[in-house]
């Protein structure tokens, strides 16, 4: 099952991290932008080409260091169909390099609409009795705040393809508590959605004991991570918020079980934009990203031992 594949990759690399591929055009070094604009013009086509070259360079630099990458689809959707076509190429290139791809789509709907989203991102579209896949990542993120019928269609689709989903539970943004920390009976709302997610996914555990519906749990709330880790024994965590958002290695350690399993920690700008701190005008962007990914791995290793 897909969560087992991810955990296997983490164990093989001794690195529980995922690199975000959330490139805005201003994250791309100038020499790449200029070359792309010279070939395609200043506009959507030139920007898409620049980000594609940037993504390829990052993937090549990171594929033997990190087990996974996580493109956030907003940074591709903002460039229309050209950006989405480039996202599809990015996902396929990352997979060709052995990386586990988490598409951060945060969709959340029910019924036939959820089924349509699932076809686009997980199972493929049915056309004249045949199935045609497009994006085809290993995993997606979804919102379960419409209830179990906004989780189950995506989970069922993922199971049919031996993939998985991560459901928003306790997010890393400062305003998350405005809703997620509200007390509902004897639980807070984020505990309610965490419990619901684990219940919906019951019976899908793999060899490591984790369900095929994981949870997004922010590094910026370490006490909540600790509470959820104890509460959600069979839920694998995707942990955003490390680095640029303020989460530390000491904070994220609470996401892991006693074997150092059960979680993967994301860094996006800290890796993609590491070149901005080297003083070399981005000519070293790939090496800078690689060095940042290694530093993150070593930082977390101080607090988490993977067996």
Neighbours of 300 (CB within 10 A): 23
What angle do helix axes 44-62 and 30-40 make, rounded to 10 degrees? 140
Q: What are the structure tokens assigned to 40, written together?
A: 């395609």
Contact indicator for 211, 198 with CB cutoff of 8 Å: yes
Please report the DSSP string for 83-144 in residue order: HHHHHHHHHHHHHHTT-EEEEEEEE---HHHHHHHHIIIII-EEETTEEE-SS--SEEEE--
Active-site residue 170, yes or no? no
Helix (H, G, I), strand (E, B) or coil at 239: strand
106, 152, 276, 301: which one is catalytic? 106
Contact indicator for 136, 92 with CB cutoff of 8 Å: yes
- Residue 9 sits at the vertex; the CA angle it makes with 6 and 11, to the nearest 5 degrees, is 110
Main-chain phi, psi angles of 50, to 5 degrees: -65, -45
Q: Which residues are catalytic?
A: 106
């Amino acid at each position: 099952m897909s969560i087992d594949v991810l955990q296997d990759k983490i164990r093989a690399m001794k690195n529980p991290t995922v690199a975000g591929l959330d490139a805005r055009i201003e994250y791309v070094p100038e020499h790449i932008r200029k070359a792309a604009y010279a070939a395609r013009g200043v506009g959507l086509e030139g920007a898409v080409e620049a980000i594609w070259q940037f993504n390829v360079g990052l993937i090549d630099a990171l594929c033997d260091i990190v087990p996974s990458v996580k493109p956030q689809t907003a940074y591709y959707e903002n460039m229309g169909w050209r950006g989405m076509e480039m996202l599809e190429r990015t996902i396929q290139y990352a997979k060709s390099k052995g990386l586990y791809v988490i598409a951060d789509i945060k969709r959340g709907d029910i019924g036939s609409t959820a089924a349509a989203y699932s076809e686009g991102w997980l199972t493929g579209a049915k056309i004249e009795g045949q199935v045609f896949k497009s994006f085809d990542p290993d995993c997606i993120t979804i919102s379960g705040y419409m209830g179990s019928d906004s989780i189950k269609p995506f989970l069922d689709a993922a199971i049919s393809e031996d993939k998985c989903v991560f459901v928003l539970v306790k997010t890393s943004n400062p305003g998350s508590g405005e809703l997620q920390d509200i007390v509902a009976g004897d639980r807070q709302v984020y505990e309610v959605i965490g419990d619901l997610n684990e219940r919906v996914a019951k019976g899908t555990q793999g060899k490591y004991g984790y369900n095929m519906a994981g949870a997004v749990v922010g590094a910026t709330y370490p006490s909540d991570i600790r509470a959820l880790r104890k509460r959600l024994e069979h839920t694998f965590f995707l942990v955003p918020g490390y680095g640029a958002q303020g989460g530390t290695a000491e904070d994220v350690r609470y996401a892991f079980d006693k074997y150092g399993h059960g979680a993967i920690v994301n860094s996006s700008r800290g890796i993609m934009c590491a070149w901005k701190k080297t003083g070399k005008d981005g000519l070293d962007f790939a090496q800078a990203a690689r060095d940042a990914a290694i530093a993150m791995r070593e930082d977390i290793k101080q607090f988490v031992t993977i067996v």
